[in-house]
Chain A
Amino acid sequence: MTTSTTMSRSTGYRFSWIGMIGFAIILFWAIIAFLAPHIIPYPVGEIVDEDYFGPMSSKLLLGSDYLGRDMLSRIIMGARYTVGISLAAVCLACFSGAALGMAAAVIGGWFDTVLSRFLDALNSIPSKLSGLVVAAAVGSSLPVLIIMLGVIYIPGAYRFARSLAVNVNTMDYITVARTRGEGIPYVVFSEILPNIIGPLLADFGIRFVFIVLLLSGLSFLGLGVQPPYADWGALVHENIGGLPFGAPAVIVPSLAIASLTISVNLLIDNLPKKIRDRSA
């Protein structure tokens, strides 16, 4: 995809420009999310414009929303919810998925069979559907959203980690470790994990994108983050009435989501590579 590359001779890693751009945008949103309350120009709830769906202006950089509130401030605060909830959920999904997956691959037997069968079945419920069912049953408070998003993606993370670990588990060095008399924790953490950590991190990124998209989709349906809080998906939901006028209040939150998810994909496709052939 890229021809322009930068070489960092001192570390022996290669990182392409496209990957760096992706990384920069992710970093940008992370900082925005972290500093949000300190950098918003207007309080999020305050009506600052007499007009609703106001255009971009020097006073309101991103225009105003359906009540005449400042969109820039709402986008900045929305970053907190979109990034924060997704990050918490993806950690839950990937840590438990990877741990279970590696354990299943190494232990094998009926533990593996039962767990795989059960989680694969859960995996065959489309993610938005699970979201709807849970939202209907337990509502959508922030903790419920985090746990729900995490649990929905555990089967996927499990399956991915398991398939990687199963491949590594057939290697002779695992057999050597086992005939040496090593226990399961050593085999999992010392022999398998270091070999699959790279793909697991990439999977973490991909699953983060999935979760951002699912959260935004649910919020867009009005079933995700509830007022007075609003993530980017909820901002689109609130302001959908501005669509026929092409108001920035509908377009900008969508662009914010796209910039985040596309950046993560760009970074994953262009991760820094270690230069293997220095001596060759």
Chain B
Amino acid sequence: MRNYVLGLITNRLGSAALTLLIVSFAVFFATAMLPGDTATILLGQAATPEAVAGLRAAMHLDEPAFFRFARWLFGLLQGDLGTSYVNNVPVAELIGARFVNTMRLAGIVTLFAVPLSLTLGITAAMFRGSVYDRIVTVLTIGVISVPEFMIATSAVLLFSVYLKWLPALSFASDVTSFWQVLKIYAMPVITLTFVVSAQMIRMTRAAVIDTINTPYVEAAILKGASRRRAVLVHALPNAVGPIANAIALSLSYLVGGVIIVETIFNYPGIAKLMVDGVSTRDLPLIQSCAIIFCIGYLALITFADIVAILANPRVR
């Protein structure tokens, strides 16, 4: 049995690795579709043909695309993220500190969003059809139906423009007091927590309702168990797998949300770096950022899958 579980987990990890390979392939070729010649773009129209040819050779642009992909992938595996086209600095250097900033933001959001969503999602499922459940449902539909920037702008309007509690659209890099830190993180965290929680609440609620509708929960009620006991003791343990999946999938909305939030609040994370990179067409930077986000996403999903495997007594 133990070997079987190990087999399943190895299988998941292998599948994640294969997915990552396909993803990096897709990312590389999407950026390699760039119309026109990269060397010409970099050097400008006025460059001499010799200079262009020299740069092409230096960047291996004259090799077949597949070799360039292999070279790039091999570099990635060794931690070489390439060099920025724009300011000739190694991409890894550009990303370094900003990566930590983004992870910190994501971590704080997760810390708020997961307990909040689990509580709301599970209780809404428990009291399905009640006024409370309806309010939760309507609010979550509302939040997932609007763009993330609207949540962010609403937060600014409310907290900065009308209430004047927090600074708008600015990010001071020299923070001295705890109070300032709180003020700086407040709006990005509130916005992202809204975005992520709405998804998570909906999916958690659906996962728990699925297990509540099973004969064994009915059987528990017919044994005299209270509704609370039937849900908490009988339904929830079987919903662990689906809930883990719901959390992972919802956290992946962090990626989309973080791109908007870092831009709007001028937060120095890699999403902001990437958006800036897009306007300057700094391809090595974009490729690396994209791969980092994809790895984050895949890690979450794979982790959830493994939790689901371990939570299933049939394979344990």
- Specify which of A126, A209, A217, A222 lies most central, judged by the most chain B CB atoms within 10 Å of its CB: A126
Judging by beta carbons under 8 Å apart, are B137 and A133 in contact? no
Distance in Å from the Cβ of B261 to the closest Cβ of chain A? Answer: 11
Judging by beta carbons under 8 Å apart, are A121 and B275 in contact? no
A27 within 8 A of B: no
Query: Per-position contact with A for B229-273: 1 when CB-CB < 8 Å, else 0?
Result: 000000000000000000000001001100110011000000000
Interface size class of A (residues with CB under 8 A): 35 or more
Interface majority SS on B: helix, strand, loop or mixed? helix
Distance in Å from the Cβ of B115 to the closest Cβ of chain A? Answer: 24
Stretch at the interface among B52-60, B149-157, B209-217: B149-157
Contacts A1-B134, A265-B141 hold; do A132 and B160 have CB atoms under 8 A apart?
Answer: no
B45 within 8 A of A: no
Judging by beta carbons under 8 Å apart, are A262 and B149 in contact? no
Q: What are some 14 contacts across the A-B interface (CB < 8 A)? A: A1-B138, A117-B18, A118-B22, A124-B298, A125-B26, A125-B27, A129-B259, A136-B283, A209-B145, A258-B146, A258-B150, A261-B146, A262-B145, A269-B141
Judging by beta carbons under 8 Å apart, are B146 and A262 in contact? yes
Task: List the A residue with the shortest CB-CB distance to B150.
Answer: A254
What is A's interface to B at a CB cutoff of 8 Å? 1, 117-118, 120-122, 124-130, 132-138, 209, 213, 216-217, 220-223, 233, 236, 240, 243-246, 250-251, 254, 257-258, 261-262, 264-265, 269
Contacts A129-B255, A137-B33 hold; do A121 and B161 have CB atoms under 8 A apart?
Answer: no
Contacts A126-B256, A128-B259 hold; do A217 and B149 have CB atoms under 8 A apart?
Answer: yes
Q: When A and B form their complex, what is the total count of cross-chain residue pairs whose Cβ atoms lie within 8 Å?
A: 145
* The residue from B150, B260, B282, B283 contacting A221, defined by CB atoms under 8 A apart: B260
Which residues of chain B come closer than 8 Å to A233, judged between CB atoms?
147, 149
Judging by beta carbons under 8 Å apart, are B31 and A254 in contact? no
Interface size class of B (residues with CB under 8 A): 35 or more
B94 within 8 A of A: no
Which residues of chain A come closer than 8 Å to B30, judged between CB atoms?
130, 133-134, 137
Distance in Å from the Cβ of A147 to the closest Cβ of chain B? Answer: 12
Task: List the B residue with the shortest CB-CB distance to A210.
Answer: B144
Judging by beta carbons under 8 Å apart, are A244 and B35 in contact? no
Which residues of chain B come closer than 8 Å to A132, judged between CB atoms?
259, 274-275, 278, 286, 290
B19 within 8 A of A: yes
B77 within 8 A of A: no
Distance in Å from the Cβ of A215 to the closest Cβ of chain B? Answer: 9
* The residue from A128, A257, A264 contacting B150, defined by CB atoms under 8 A apart: A257
Chain B, 109-156, CB within 8 A of any chain A CB: 134, 137-138, 141-142, 145-150, 153-154, 156
Which residues of chain A come closer than 8 Å to B263, judged between CB atoms?
221
* The residue from B31, B148, B168 contacting A243, defined by CB atoms under 8 A apart: B168
Judging by beta carbons under 8 Å apart, are B168 and A244 in contact? yes
Judging by beta carbons under 8 Å apart, are A216 and B147 in contact? yes
In angstroms, Cα B4 to Cα A168, docked, is: 31
In angstroms, Cα B255 to Cα A250, docked, is: 24
* The residue from A1, A130, A246, A258 contacting B145, defined by CB atoms under 8 A apart: A258
